[in-house]
């Protein structure tokens, strides 16, 4: 497909220079003298160009999107609509409390709802992503110890953790202590005991972890940590698995972040705005970023005077549009949030049981909302790697699952169907996975050279990420 610059044919789509305007008042040194270099093409051709481009995108509206850890579920469009209501979208972040009562009420109510869902005692809505929530949480933990006159330096992180966990702790100046998972894919308690000392500030855990497995010993772990004077951080990116069934407070955690753009109705991916609210137990309340939204029974207000606050982590109070979507979703679902988790877990177990007959399942345990299989059999028998399988799925109008993560599983294929898929759609996916596995034996070349139907075939993924070439230069 040609770029829009290459399609430029000199047509006068729109004329940006109005000759009748007098620019003599402007400093002529600031005026552009040469041509602006925009493509010239008719309006209809512009629309066709961008429609063709957008049709190349894959999205949940187009097909199955089982991208593990990312919770690519269907986000009801009504939440989109609500977040664009003029009263929400046109409000200025600097309006005073008096004229922003509705928006403040919404944020206050969302704080209360998230307190209920997490079991925690106080919430900040400020962080704008999961990783940003982690950073906020680790800053809170750091300041907590400093305020108590302790200088604890270490943070323990299991080897199955998402890469943002060690990155966030490191950014706060902590030293990372990695611990190995046991044969059940869970935190190894003996290994944990062996690294625990007075210098440990916290452990960062994800539960269910990134293998989709619930950490059975979480209560013993929180007991051990608290007896050591350490805190527990809960990476809540996998909250879709537990809503209404349990919560991080019951498991003994002190700080938790949620990914509203995974669990709570904001479309995820494409780098769009997200929200990573952080909830804490009572003793950490005074360390939250400001402002916190408060209600005195009559008026909603922003409280900027928080005793030991780590300061603001974002301008104003977070990505408000995402907060509106989340609040609308929570109200709409009510007690049925529990059903969302129930169905997410049921769907994942259904797929896992079907697929384990054709792909190796390294941890054959009941899973939560996601699970990890591997392409090791296909690789060893026929030289077809997990990457090849992922590419072959693209030829079947299916988004590939997350691959090569978590790092502790070779040739990992991490599948998260979410609650929003039907049994029929999952059966279709199973059939496709079986077809690919069979083809890996009968015609491995076809899988190895996939994809065959996409506009772009194989890209150098490392260069694409590290040296993106985003600028069009005329030959």
Residues lying near ligand PLP in the complex (CB under 6 A):
69, 129-131, 162, 164, 206, 210, 235, 237-238, 259, 274, 276
For ligand PLP, which is the closer residue by CB, 235 or 411? Answer: 235
Residue 269 beta carbon to ligand PLP: minimum distance, rounded to whole angstroms: 9
Closest CA to 316 of 141, 124, 130: 124
In contact, 319 and 333? CB cutoff 8 Å: no
For ligand PLP, which is the closer residue by CB, 75 or 210? Answer: 210
Residue 233 beta carbon to ligand PLP: minimum distance, rounded to whole angstroms: 11
Rounded to whole angstroms, the Cα distance separating 375 from 239 reads 27
Look up tokens 């509203």; give the residue: 260
For residue 305, the tally of other CB atoms under 10 A from its CB is: 8
Rounded to whole angstroms, the Cα distance separating 341 from 345 reads 6
Residue 70 beta carbon to ligand PLP: minimum distance, rounded to whole angstroms: 6
Residue 444 beta carbon to ligand PLP: minimum distance, rounded to whole angstroms: 32
For ligand PLP, which is the closer residue by CB, 103 or 373? Answer: 373
For ligand PLP, which is the closer residue by CB, 41 or 403? Answer: 403
Residue 130 beta carbon to ligand PLP: minimum distance, rounded to whole angstroms: 2
Closest CA to 206 of 254, 155, 171, 256: 256
For ligand PLP, which is the closer residue by CB, 259 or 347? Answer: 259
Residue 242 beta carbon to ligand PLP: minimum distance, rounded to whole angstroms: 13
Residue 68 beta carbon to ligand PLP: minimum distance, rounded to whole angstroms: 8
For ligand PLP, which is the closer residue by CB, 69 or 301? Answer: 69
In contact, 135 and 127? CB cutoff 8 Å: yes
Residue 343 beta carbon to ligand PLP: minimum distance, rounded to whole angstroms: 19
For ligand PLP, which is the closer residue by CB, 237 or 389? Answer: 237
Residue 258 beta carbon to ligand PLP: minimum distance, rounded to whole angstroms: 10
For ligand PLP, which is the closer residue by CB, 104 or 125? Answer: 125
**Edge-to-edge strands of the sheet including 412-415?**
371-374, 412-415, 402-403
For ligand PLP, which is the closer residue by CB, 166 or 276? Answer: 276
Rounded to whole angstroms, the Cα distance separating 327 from 422 reads 25
Q: What would the two tokens of residue 29 be? A: 């040194």
For ligand PLP, which is the closer residue by CB, 69 or 111? Answer: 69
Closest CA to 370 of 361, 379, 383, 357: 361
Residue 206 beta carbon to ligand PLP: minimum distance, rounded to whole angstroms: 5
Cα angle, residue 402 at apex, residues 52 and 463 outer, rounded to 5°: 65
For ligand PLP, which is the closer residue by CB, 376 or 416? Answer: 416
In contact, 52 and 1? CB cutoff 8 Å: yes
Residue 276 beta carbon to ligand PLP: minimum distance, rounded to whole angstroms: 6
Residue nearest to ligand PLP (CB): 130
Taking the alpha carbons of 53, 55, 57, 61 in that order, is the dihedral positive or negative? positive
């Amino acid at each position: 497909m040609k770029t829009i610059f290459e399609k430029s044919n000199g047509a006068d789509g729109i004329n940006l220079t109005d000759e009748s305007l007098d620019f003599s008042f402007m400093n002529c040194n600031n005026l552009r003298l040469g041509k602006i270099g925009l493509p010239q093409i008719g309006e209809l051709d512009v629309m066709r160009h961008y429609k063709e481009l957008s049709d190349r995108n894959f999205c949940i509206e187009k097909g199955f999107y089982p991208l593990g850890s990312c919770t690519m579920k269907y986000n009801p469009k009504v939440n989109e609509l609500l977040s664009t209501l003029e009263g929400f979208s046109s409000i200025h972040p600097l309006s005073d409390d008096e004229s922003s009562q509705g928006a403040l009420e919404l944020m206050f109510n969302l704080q209360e709802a998230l307190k209920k869902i997490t079991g925690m005692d106080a919430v900040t809505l400020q962080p704008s992503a999961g990783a940003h929530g982690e950073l906020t949480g680790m800053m809170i933990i750091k300041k907590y110890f400093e305020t108590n006159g302790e200088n604890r330096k270490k943070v323990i992180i299991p080897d199955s953790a998402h890469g943002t966990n060690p990155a966030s702790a490191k950014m706060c100046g902590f030293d990372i202590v990695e611990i190995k998972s046991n044969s059940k894919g869970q935190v190894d308690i003996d290994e944990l005991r062996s690294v625990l000392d007075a210098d440990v500030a916290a452990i960062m855990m994800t539960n269910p972890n990134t293998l989709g497995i619930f950490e059975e010993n979480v209560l013993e772990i929180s007991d051990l940590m608290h007896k050591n004077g350490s805190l527990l951080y809960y990476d809540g990116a996998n909250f879709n698995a537990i809503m209404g069934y349990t919560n991080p407070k019951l498991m003994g955690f002190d700080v938790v972040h949620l990914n509203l753009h995974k669990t709570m109705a904001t479309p995820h991916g494409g780098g769009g705005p997200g929200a990573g609210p952080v909830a804490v137990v009572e003793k950490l309340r005074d360390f939250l970023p400001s402002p916190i939204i408060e209600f005195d029974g009559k008026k909603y207000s922003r409280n900027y005077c928080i005793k030991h606050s780590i300061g603001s982590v974002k301008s104003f109070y977070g990505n408000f549009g995402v907060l509106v979507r989340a609040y609308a979703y929570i109200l709409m679902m009510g007690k049925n949030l529990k059903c969302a988790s129930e169905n997410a877990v049921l769907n994942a177990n259904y797929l896992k049981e079907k697929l384990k007959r054709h792909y190796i399942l390294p941890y054959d345990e009941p899973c939560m909302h996601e699970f990890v299989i591997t392409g090791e059999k296909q690789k060893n028998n026929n030289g077809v790697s997990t990457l090849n399988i992922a590419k072959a799925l693209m030829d079947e109008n299916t988004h590939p699952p997350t691959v090569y993560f978590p790092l502790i599983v070779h040739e990992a294929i991490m599948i998260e169907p979410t609650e929003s898929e039907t049994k029929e759609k999952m059966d279709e996916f199973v059939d496709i996975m079986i077809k690919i596995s069979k083809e890996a034996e009968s015609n491995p070349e076809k899988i190895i050279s996939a994809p065959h139907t996409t506009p772009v075939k194989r890209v150098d993924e490392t260069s694409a990420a590290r040296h993106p070439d985003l600028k069009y230069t005329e030959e």
